[in-house]
Structure 1
Amino acid sequence: MLTRNMIRAVAGATLLVLALSGCSTMKGWFRGKDAEAKKAAEPAELVDFQATIKPRKIWSANLGDGEQRIGARQTPALADGRVYAAAAEGTVTALDLHTGKEAWRFKADKKEGLRLAGGPGVGEGLVVVGGLGGEVIALDAANGSERWRAKVTSEVIVAPLVVQGLVIVRSNDGRISTFDASSGERRWFSEHELPPLTVRGNAPLAYGPGVLFSGNDDGTLTAIALQDGRVLWEQMVGTGEGRTELERMSDVDSAPLIDGTQLFASSFKNRTIAIDGPSGRPMWQSEHGGIGGMAAAPSGLLLSSPAGTVYMLDKYSGAALWSQPALARRSLTGPVVHGDYAVVADYDGYVHWLSLADGQFVARERVGGKAVKGQPQVADGILVVQNVEGGLTAFRLD
């Protein structure tokens, strides 16, 4: 016969077994949820498709040490039949666009410790680059000789703008500094207050007749008089909402795009607006936002969302004409138009061609195993891609 104490002991043991079993089951639940969350955060696997075009690689070049984790989205500049590109180790190289043959190379003295971040700006016979120490260096576009140097108040991680006899530099502290293109003499500066937390990167400046357009880290777009730096108007693009600074990040981290008299700006906060350039009057807004640059196609506006979806928006309404979500979480570059196709590159060195008509994949190539962060560039039918290791690759469509 079981005594009362024996019954209590058996019951206690049973409960202990059940509790331990429950703990094991609960741990299994959490492990399952952790695995699901991890899988959901991973870059999308590339889908197979039947390629309908074959981009031809016509040349490649190694610039030297690339930007790696700087986060500056180094991008080449294409002008006058040449490719101008910077490497983080303090070199700037000019190559023939069609052959990749090197025309000249500028290399800073190693003792300087110069680290170049943003890509070069080209114009007025100059190639101008900025550094992580606030350096601004103007080179002769013909032969790469140094013309002048200047200094700004913070690191420069976006290409300077060279226009109308001026070199205009945006530094990472929200300041815009302007220099005389021929002498390097400082002209004027403009400041914009930064929010406590911002996305790593800046939007390159855009230029319209007599006006600079600056996308700002607080989600605004500002029109600035080129002559003296006066603010002409300011428009909100992305509104910072949420309880934390992280949730409230709304940087306009894509260069404003001018298409005729229409101006487009896009925010990290998943919002794009169209503005009448002369007046600053909003025309439409879309709840699809982009990073890393936009592109104007004959039929619409192309952008890559922070989540990795490529969109084509109607220029006149902002409605999505198509979307391609198969590159989710692959850290896409901004898109560019190459013939009848949209092109983006990703974190793993893949370059993707999509049909402008419907967003379907038509080709894919790889430019090494390193990430491409800067928006690809196109001139004379040639697409040029720069990866974070300092590699340049050029493609042509046959």
Structure 2
Amino acid sequence: MTEHTAPAAASPVPSRALRFAAIALCAVAVSGCSTVRGWFGNSEKADAKALSEPAKLTDITPSVTVTRLWRTSAGKGEGRLGVRQGPVVADGRVYVAAIKGGVRALDLQSGASIWRHESDLRLSGGPGVGDGLVVVGSLDGDVLALDAATGEQRWTAKVTNEVIAAPTIGQGLVLVRSNDGRVTAFDIASGERRWFWVRELPSLTVRGNDAPVLGPGFVFVGNDDGTLAALALADGRTLWEQAVAQPDGRTELERMADVDGTPVLDEAVLFASSYRHRTMALEGPSGRPLWVSEHGGSNRPALSPHRVVVTDANGTVWALDKFSGTAAWQQPALARRNLSAAVVQGDYAVVGDLDGYLHWLRLDDGEFAARERAGRDPIKGAPVVADGVLVVQTVDGDVSAWRLNQ
């Protein structure tokens, strides 16, 4: 077993809000009430409320037609747990899980049920699939491995904390990231633990994390302290570490720099994005930065041949040049709508929002091309695209598939 820990985060200092409050009280005492009357009147309150509410959707003129192929339910969804359950697609099948409802395999084109594995476990993050296995974790630290063809149980295991990320499967291992900063590697055939790696968590982090990503002999892990680590797949030792964003600031809130979205590996280049509005491209084997952009968020990036698309915490969608990191466009019209990670479908970037809407944006200029509603509940898990079909899951457990009509 290999264990690595990072230095503990610095102790927080008092918030600047205390100083602001003191200044405001001094202003009232010196100037008198008559000079400050109306500062927080109805118009100002209305403006403040408008700035905190999700942006209202405006009518668009669709330039592409989107058709819903099917819709079904995975079971009782995550609700407000913040575990970002999402589907996974492999070999023409969609695999989904729910807090209550077990695991289901569906046909990608029709949505027809292929098998269903009932379970009393509170299954949380979405399933992982690979090498004939479907693996999912639970809110109680259970790991359940099923036969991808039949849904029959292969093995079970246990980790030290809740699992809210989809497991990663490949090269003879199942890698499970638990919410205490630990990555555990299990033998793919037996479920026996091979190694674990630990990263100490900051005092305050964004709720949720995502799966590690595999490279040849590597596993890449985004961490809550803003770093990206490359581990040796054979034994879990750290090969390199790179800060995507520095957790600077006077308060714990200001220092939040989570790399929560799964890094994306494109040939030998790794792309990762941080809650601290930063996205980085790195050489996978060495960790050497290739470029850095001051735009990004805690969701995973999406790649097209020429673009890296990221969503930030403010609800802005950014398209970055894939080879330089330069911003090609931004789309701010979805401000404060709690966007999901983006995914690329054809010539469009697609994001989900807090009201269950899917938005298709043109990759060349960021203009809206289409909008459809997948359900009445938020979309927090990343949509996926396979064989030209987009599949998405809402927090209520609704699963639907969509195709572009060119």
Counterpart of 2:267 in structure 1 is: 260
Q: Which residue of 159, 165, 174 maps to 2:181?
A: 174
Distance across 1 between alignment mates of 2:219 and 2:41: 52
Is structure 2 residue 137 aligned with structure 1 residue 95?
no
Question: Which residue number corresponds to residue 97 of structure 2?
Answer: 86
Match of 2:161 in 1: 154
Are residues 1:223 and 2:234 paired?
no
SS at structure 2 position matched to 1:29? coil
Deviation at 1:362, TM superposition (A): 0.5
Q: Are 1:330 and 2:341 an aligned pair?
A: no
Q: Counterpart of 1:45 in 2: which secondary structure?
A: coil
Q: Structure 1 residue 29: deviation in Å?
A: 3.3
Displacement, 1:35? 2.4
Q: Identify which of 381, 400, 406 aligns with 1:393.
A: 400
Using the TM superposition, give the Cα deviation of residue 124 of structure 1 relative to its aligned residue in structure 2, in angstroms: 1.5
Match of 1:120 in 2: 127
Q: Describe the superposition over 1:349-385 as per-residue Cα deviations: whole angstroms up to 9, x where unpaired.
A: 0000011110100100001211000111000111001
List aligned pairs for 1:368-383, cutoff 5 A. 368-383=375-390
Identity of matched residues, %: 57
Secondary structure, aligned partner of 2:195: strand
Does the CA-based 8 Å contact 2:74-2:101 persist in structure 1?
A: no
Q: Does 1:194 align with 2:221?
A: no
Write the distance in 1 (CA, Å) between the matches of 2:84 and 2:319.
22
Structure 1: which 5+ runs fail to align? 1-18
| 2:43 counterpart residue number | 32
Contact 1:203 1:216 in 2 (8 A): no
Asked if the contact 2:258–2:274 (Cα under 8 Å) also holds between the matched residues in 1, the reply is yes
Q: Could you tell me which amino acid in structure 2 is paired with residue 383 of structure 1?
A: L
Match of 2:282 in 1: 275
Output the amino acid matched with 2:296.
G
Query: 1:203, CA displacement in angstroms?
Result: 2.7
Q: Secondary structure at the match of 1:38?
A: helix
How many corresponding residue pairs?
Answer: 374
Q: CA deviation at 1:33?
A: 2.6
Deviates more, 1:100-109 or 1:75-84: 100-109
Q: What is the RMSD computed on CA atoms of the aligned residues?
A: 1.3
* CA-to-aligned-CA distance 1:164-193 (integer Å, 9 cap, x gap): 111110000001101111111111001111
Report if aligned partners of 1:292, 1:374 keep a CA contact under 8 Å in 2: no
Alpha-carbon distance in structure 2 between the residues aligned to 1:301 and 1:28: 43
What CA distance in whole angstroms lies between the structure 2 residues aligned with 1:90 and 1:213?
Answer: 31
Instruction: Report the AA paired with residue 29 of structure 1.
Output: F
Larger radius of gyration: 1
Asked if residue 43 in structure 1 is aligned to residue 51 in structure 2, the reply is no
Q: TM-score, normalised by structure 1?
A: 0.92
Counterpart of 1:344 in structure 2 is 351
Quickly say closer, same or farther: Cα 1:243–1:397, change in 2 above 3 A. Answer: same
SS of 2:37's equivalent? helix
Q: Which residue of 1 aligns with 2:152?
A: 145
Q: Distance in 2 between matches of 1:234 and 1:210?
A: 16
Answer yes or no: is the 8 Å Cα contact 1:291–1:333 preserved in 2.
no
Separation in structure 1 between the aligned mates of residue 350 and residue 379 of structure 2, nearest angstrom? 12
Residue type at the aligned position of 1:217: D
Distance between the aligned counterparts of 2:45 and 2:184, measured in 1?
48
Query: Which residue does 1:321 correspond to in 2?
Result: 328
Residue aligning to 2:241: 234
Give the AA of the match of 2:66. Answer: P
- Distance in 2 between the 1:394 and 1:280 partners? 36
1:204 aligns to 2:211 (yes or no): yes
Shift of 1:27: 5.2
User: Where has structure 1 moved over 4 Å in runs of 4 or more?
Assistant: none
